[in-house]
């Protein structure tokens, strides 16, 4: 059976109305092949949704609140994200963990709220440089998975993003990615999609895709470069069969 990879583009706090128009109209001219999720900033979600031109393109948000509604100024509910057409939501991105002090427990609540509202959470985990240097990567990942993924349900993804590889140009080695993903597969089972993120580019993603337990990639910077990102989402040779 052919198994398509999932490619998720996280625009972070980048993009604009004109950027959406230019990028999405460029993609309308492309033959998109991989299932691709675009995660723009909240205000751009409806505009991106309006211009999604291919059945392979889906919409994702970068975060959601852990409660269903209420007096939480500045936050966005999972239910509203679903209502405006999102299918995915990132939870626990390392930038949320770092700059918004999000804990594993909170991230788990967010992921469960996402599932309860028909969204597929992409739960992000990853060790920092110090933890890597101390040889703690696998134990950190194990405890982050145990504490921040939903207690039940199989319709979620886990993205392994080593903090030191994000936005630095230092992609984890294939050996490091393989050993992390093999351990995650053992812990989570066959049904959970496992993504790798951290300085993924149009030049290195194919070798990452070739690893056994990699079901896709989470891309930051390159998802903002329309030609480079197109090279990734349109590349038929990247298909993986099993």
- For ligand 13P, the closer of residues 117 and 199 by Cβ is 199
Is 93 one of the annotated active-site residues of the chain? yes
Is 236 one of the annotated active-site residues of the chain? no
Q: How far apart are CA 242 and CA 191, in angstroms?
A: 14
Cβ 104 to ligand 13P shortest distance, Å: 18
Cβ 203 to ligand 13P shortest distance, Å: 13
Q: Among the options 95, 102, 112, 161, which is catalytic?
A: 161
What number of H helices and E strands is found in the chain? Answer: 10, 10
- For ligand 13P, the closer of residues 148 and 199 by Cβ is 199
Q: How far apart are CA 71 and CA 64, in angstroms?
A: 14
Q: Give the position of tokens 């959470």.
A: 121
Distant-in-sequence, close-in-space partners of 237: CB < 8 Å, separation ≥ 6:
206
Q: Among the options 93, 95, 127, 181, which is catalytic?
A: 93
Cβ 197 to ligand 13P shortest distance, Å: 4
- For ligand 13P, the closer of residues 43 and 167 by Cβ is 167
**Can you name the residues that pair with 37 across neighbouring β-strands?**
8, 58
- For ligand 13P, the closer of residues 151 and 192 by Cβ is 192
Residue numbers of the site for ligand 13P (CB under 6 A)?
10, 93, 161, 166-167, 197-200, 218-221
Of 33, 80, 73, 85, nearest to 56 (Cα)?
Answer: 33
Of 43, 76, 35, 81, nearest to 60 (Cα)?
Answer: 81
Catalytic residue positions? 93, 161
């Amino acid at each position: 059976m052919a198994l398509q990879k999932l490619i998720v583009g996280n625009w972070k706090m980048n993009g604009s109305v004109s950027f959406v128009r230019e990028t999405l109209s460029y993609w309308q001219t492309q033959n998109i092949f991989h299932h691709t999720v675009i995660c723009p900033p909240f205000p751009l979600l409806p505009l991106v949704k309006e211009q999604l031109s291919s059945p392979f393109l889906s919409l994702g948000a970068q975060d959601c609140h852990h409660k269903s509604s209420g007096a939480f100024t500045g936050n966005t509910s999972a239910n509203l994200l679903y209502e405006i057409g999102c299918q995915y939501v990132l939870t626990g991105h390392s930038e949320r963990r770092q700059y918004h002090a999000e804990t594993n427990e909170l991230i788990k609540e967010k992921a469960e709220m996402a599932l309860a509202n028909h969204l597929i959470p992409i739960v992000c985990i990853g060790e920092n440089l110090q933890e890597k240097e101390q040889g703690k990567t696998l134990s950190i990942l194990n405890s982050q998975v145990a504490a921040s993924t939903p207690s039940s349900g199989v319709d979620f993804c886990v993205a392994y993003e080593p903090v030191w590889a994000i936005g630095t140009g230092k992609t984890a080695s294939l050996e490091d990615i393989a050993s992390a993903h093999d351990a995650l597969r053992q812990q989570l089972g066959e049904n959970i999609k496992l993504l790798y993120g951290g300085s993924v580019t149009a030049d290195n993603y194919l070798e990452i895709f070739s690893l056994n337990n990699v079901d896709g990639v989470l891309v930051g910077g390159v998802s903002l470069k329309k030609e480079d990102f197109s090279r990734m989402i349109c590349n038929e040779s990247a298909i993986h069969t099993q």
